[in-house]
Structure 1
């Protein structure tokens, strides 16, 4: 007695299609906000925060410098989240990220050995400069009417009289 294999389900989506759909949805979401600016700012804050991390006894010996470095890293990571989640506040968050990154130079081991400072300044400046993508122009509509008008229907610009030209 032989049995046939069970038929393949036809209505179920392939496992790669859900992964592809999730990737495309993430890509669409990422393009609506300054993603790379937030990534660089957060990475710079992470470096500045964790570079002075040491056992508590050493941090207490370092004193305010170690705590200031860690608080600067926390501020930078918070600005990265703000840049990512509220793109409308990117200018304020970008300026604060640049200021906190530059302030980390004297406060936290030369700004996370220059790496954290450079990343946070790069991310803050990218966030400040980012512009949302303009929507695509619609085809048809008003543009079609402008193209079909005759030369007689187009308005003539006003001429200035007495402009002082010879």
Structure 2
């Protein structure tokens, strides 16, 4: 018998998948994309849905069904764009907000306000999202030396440290002037 049982390997495998998904989710506006996708579904679905109550069929079909389908498909596409091309997240967020606003008059009051609100919040989250700093990254900047001296922000010899004794300036006519 081995020291490891198959159950432990599956648990480790699931833990690795969960960690990888959490890392992937943290590098992109995941919730913005999810809400935008969920907002596009009712906008595209309701104009084509029909509800049967006994022998009576209730249909919400409108003349703007094609427009609703286009808006819904575009919102789903923008949600996927937020996930897989997060560099264009601001464009996708603004486009989601505009499509959500257009869905109000076109698509049964924006999918009965459900799709409208989800797409609107998803677009706003996409615009507001900013990539976070990793746990191992440190903030850039000069570090103070151990003896307490100031560290110059520009590398090379500095005026006043004894290596540069003369300042040079540039005249308005382009000539160089030695100032002492």
Change over 3 Å in CA distance of 1:77–1:154 after alignment to 2: closer
Greater RCO structure (CA 8 Å; 6+ sep): 1
* 1:66, distance to aligned residue in structure 2 (A): 1.1
Counterpart for residue 159 of structure 1: none
Q: Which has the higher strand share?
A: 2
Q: SS where residue 49 of structure 2 aligns?
A: coil
Alignment of 1:66-145 (within 5 A): 66-135=65-134, 136-138=136-138, 143=143
1:18 equivalent to 2:13? Answer yes
- Residues in 2 aligned to 1:102 and 1:88: alpha-carbon distance in whole angstroms: 24
Structure 2 residue 2 is the aligned partner of structure 1 residue 8: yes
Q: Which runs of 5+ in 1 are unaligned?
A: 1-6, 156-166
Alpha-carbon deviation of 1:11? 8.7
More helix per residue: 1 or 2? 1
**Aligned-pair CA distance for 1:105:** 0.2
Unaligned runs of 5+ residues in structure 2 are 51-58, 153-180
Scaled by the length of structure 1, the TM-score of the pair is 0.76
Q: Counterparts of 1:138 and 1:123 in 2: how far apart (Å)?
A: 31
Residue 52 (1) aligns with residue 51 (2):
no
Count of aligned positions: 144
CA distance in 2, matches of 1:96, 1:125: 10
1:35-64 deviations in Å (ceiling 9; x for gaps): 000000000001111111236xx68x732x
Q: What root-mean-square deviation, in Å, do the aligned CA atoms of Structure 1 and Structure 2 show?
A: 2.8
Contact 2:47 2:108 in 1 (8 A): yes
Normalised TM-score (structure 2):
0.70
